[in-house]
Structures are given as C-alpha cells and as structure tokens.
Amino acid sequence: TQMALERDYEAQREIATRMRALMETTTEAIVFVTVASGRIKELNGPAAKLLGANVEALEGTVFAQAFAPDASGTLLEELVAAARAERLRKVKAETRRGRREVGLAATLFRAAGERMLICRLDRGDAVDGSGTDMA
C-alpha cells in the first residue's frame, strides 16, 4: 500500500542519514565503485585525501584513473578477483597523485541489481617524496 511504502521510505531515509554519519565518522578510507562503469559511486574524506583530491572532485570519476597508469588498466579486474577469493587478499597499487603505495581490500556486493565493490584503502609508504599532498 501507499502508506506502507511511505513508512518504509522513512525508515530507508533514516538509514541514509546513518550512512552519511558513518562515512564521516570512520577514519578508514572507504570507496564504493560501480563495477560496470568502474566509476566511484561514493567515497569518504580519508579516501579522497589518500587519493590526493577532494571528495567532490573524485565522485563519479573512473576509480582506476586515481592510480598510476601501469596499474590502472587491470586494477578493477584485480579487485573483483581479490573480492572473489576465499581469503582476504589485498591488491597493491600506487596512487597517481602523490605516488603513494596503498593496499586495497575489496568486497563485492549487489545493490539495486548492480555489482558494486567496497574498497578499504590502507595507507602505505610514499614510493617517492615528490608531489605528495598527504602531509
């Protein structure tokens, strides 16, 4: 019924509010990527910082392009493969801006009929000292 739909809608809106609070609270770097397009659906501040840009600039862009060219061509496939592995397997990649090595832990899930990856990025050490904006 319409009323049940509206009640559900309220409950879902409340979850969306909690989601925002959680994305702002966690100090871990989190990125959601739509598998079909390879684009960033959502990311939080720590993830944007690690990737050397701000949240608004990165949302909607191709996730792999935030990484060094040698890795970016196969990064999405690697993440999907790692997510499918039975044990936690981290994918290492170098960020394009700041040339920082990060470890990516990916989990695959389905939302609204689309495959999506949630990636937790661990901050590694800078590969070289140039161009870093991580200070």
| Site of interaction with a copy of itself (CB under 8 A) | 2, 5-6, 8-28, 30, 32, 41-42, 105, 107, 109-112, 116, 118, 120
Residue 108 to residues 23, 54, 91, 135: CA-CA distances in angstroms? 18, 25, 14, 32
Q: Which two tokens stand for residue 9?
A: 């809608």
Residue of 121, 129, 116, 130 whose CA lies nearest to 51: 121
Q: Which is nearer to a copy of itself, 17 or 54 (CB)?
A: 17
* Residue 91: CB minimum distance to a copy of itself, A: 15
- DSSP H or E run through 46: helix 45-50
* Residue 87: CB minimum distance to a copy of itself, A: 15
Q: Which is nearer to a copy of itself, 8 or 128 (CB)?
A: 8
- DSSP H or E run through 120: strand 114-126
Q: Which is nearer to a copy of itself, 9 or 133 (CB)?
A: 9
* Residue 135: CB minimum distance to a copy of itself, A: 20
* Residue 39: CB minimum distance to a copy of itself, A: 14
SS3 52: coil
DSSP code of 64? G
Q: Which is nearer to a copy of itself, 19 or 134 (CB)?
A: 19
